Chains A and B, each alone.
Chain A
């Protein structure tokens, strides 16, 4: 009985939250900040992309199909990533019903994705057939739309200083509300990142390690 009432209470609470969020969105909408640019060197190197792409078929069969597609194309993907030249790390994951690509790269996000299209866009296009809402294909014929699509599926990255997200907000008491609205808009969020060697590019690491670049 306690469990039953607890469940009803939770449902009512969630319903109330949804109504409250809908109300807040109407009276005090919060716009998702665009990725910022910086003049600081370390802020322009080792950038993160956390691409979360819901699969069209999220059953075990659909997930297996995605795993098989990545396995079949892994060599081309890795060769392409190497040719982009600015990628520190990249990995492909299945998380729940999502095909994910996480990577750390140097420089501008849009330049990275453009180089990504050049280096292995055609391979990536074939994978996007498995995704729920694929971008216009082929990517090379629709580069701007492809880049915008990748940007929409890239997890929102919360900076170290939470308040910097809402520079227009004058009332500190509203920050919690703003954060709730932001997370309502952006289900996938990167909460923090650490680098053991900030301000160094992948080419510098390869060059200084004698690996060639």
Chain B
């Protein structure tokens, strides 16, 4: 929660960048601009302060009382053009945003089953994706009512898709992991006396254009005019289908292998699983151990860095402690594998090949599951996954760099170079491998496919409130 104001004008920022709303329901309206004048009028109405004209876009000012719903918008490069932004201004945006997510597919690992040709039709027709208006609500009916009000805006927009997400109990996602634990904290925004972990506070320039970034002396280019670019942010929005059944089958296959391998006993001494809370069979415990090694946390959120052998350590780790760890005391990945999803995506204080990059590629992640919950007792075939927003000030310097260098190339540590992220990576069973040390030995699993398939997405610019008013005035 934003608790400290500063020179940063929080009323000028869209509210979903520096804080999460923690609403259980979201509806993302993917829209094209049908009538530019009407669309600009809607933008003016949505920032007028008069909720009778249109649902108001939520800014980042602290709340006295939590609102029942929040609304935010993102605009693609094609959307900016559709709203009437001048050519010179359009050209001042970074090249990867201009190109769009689908055109950057190889950089971010969207090939094979994630290739843009396999995406849902809405996202394949990328020239028609102009805006995404996201409605976050406490109540599912509110979400629909607000979305309907937006769609009724005098012919301004044409609906291309309505994507609904719903939080699962306990912040779980489809793979069964607890999510929404770690987010960056920002200088001048969050209270330094209320630190959630030992990671350095991050300069707001990591998220907002026109401010100092975590890279000393470096500032990202502000699209012009300043009123349009300043305090804006980018959102790599992704529809990530999760292959839950395949993932669970893989855990079983790995656990089976460990049951027959002496390394399995070294990894989890027989009988230890009976001390877990709740106690488990040995096979089930080994499945959980593999799941934890792949992510870097147990499925209940307890990090391996703090509890490498049990998901229920004594004394228990409370919510406040779940993010308070580093990797510098675990240089070889004995506790948390170097190749695990979390350690790859944010190596924290671990040694990295690219010595200037620790803490410089932080993303704000906002995600909500979509599709029916997977029940292994009654498995239902259906598309399910995550509607994920990955926000940053530089798509190429943060989001794409993580996807390219770390998720899929493993460039940050020579011991994982050539192996992809076991959960999010673009894995091909002919080459895939996931390894982690057990004492002086190494356990390696091979031959697994991608467990996450991209089904759509786009790069959106999240303009400041001033920028939205500027767009309305074009």
Q: Which residues of A contact B (CB under 8 A)?
A: 36-39, 41, 44-45, 83-86, 106-108, 110-111, 114-115, 117-119, 121-122, 138, 140-145, 148, 199, 201, 203-204, 206-208, 213
Contacts and interface: CB of A to CB of B under 8 A. Distances in A.
Interface in B341-393: 352-357
B218 A206 contact: no
B270 interface: no
Interface string B403-437: 01100110101110110000000100000000000
Contacts of B219: 140-141, 143
Contact of B221 (A84, A86, A145): A145
B106 A108 contact: no
Contact of B354 (A36, A38, A85, A208): A85
Nearest to B92: A144
A201 B414 contact: yes
B64 interface: no
Contact of B218 (A84, A85, A143): A143
B397 A107 contact: no
A144 B426 contact: no
A118 B216 contact: yes
A41 B354 contact: no
Contact of A142 (B111, B221, B418, B426): B221
Nearest to A142: B221
B288 to A, nearest CB: 31
Contacts of A86: 353-354, 411
B72 interface: no
Among A114, A117, A141, A199, max chain B CB count under 10 A is at A114
B396 A110 contact: yes
Given A111-B401, A111-B405, A144-B94, A117 B414 contact: no
A199 to B, nearest CB: 7
| Interface residue SS majority, chain B | loop
B414 A143 contact: no
A121 to B, nearest CB: 8
B415 A207 contact: yes
Contact of A144 (B106, B220, B354, B400): B220
B156 to A, nearest CB: 32
A119 B356 contact: yes
Contacts of A85: 352-355
A199 B418 contact: yes
Nearest to A106: B411
Contact of B356 (A106, A110, A115): A115
Given A106-B411, A111-B396, A140-B218, 16 more contacts: A37-B107, A39-B408, A41-B409, A83-B355, A107-B405, A108-B401, A108-B404, A111-B401, A114-B401, A118-B215, A121-B217, A140-B217, A142-B221, A199-B418, A203-B413, A204-B414
B106 A37 contact: yes
Contacts of B107: 37, 108
**Most-contacted residue by chain B among A84, A199, A201 (CB, 10 A):** A201
A44 B409 contact: yes
Contacts of B353: 85-86, 106, 201, 203, 213
Given A41-B418, A143-B220, A199-B418, A115 B409 contact: no
A38 B220 contact: no
Contacts of A111: 354, 396-397, 401, 404-405
Contacts of A141: 217-219
A204 to B, nearest CB: 4
Contacts of B418: 41, 199
Contact of A108 (B95, B218, B405, B413): B405
Nearest to B411: A107
A70 to B, nearest CB: 23
B356 A83 contact: yes
Contacts of A114: 215, 397, 401
Nearest to A112: B354
Given A85-B355, A140-B219, A107 B409 contact: yes
Interface string B200-221: 0000000000000001111111
Contacts of B352: 85
Contacts of A206: 414
A201 B111 CA distance: 23
Contact of A201 (B220, B408, B411): B411
A144 to B, nearest CB: 4
B417 A203 contact: yes
B218 A39 contact: no
B106 A39 contact: yes
A18 to B, nearest CB: 31
A39 B111 contact: yes
B417 A201 contact: yes
B436 to A, nearest CB: 17
A213 B218 contact: no
Interface in B72-120: 94-95, 106-107, 109, 111
A84 B414 contact: no
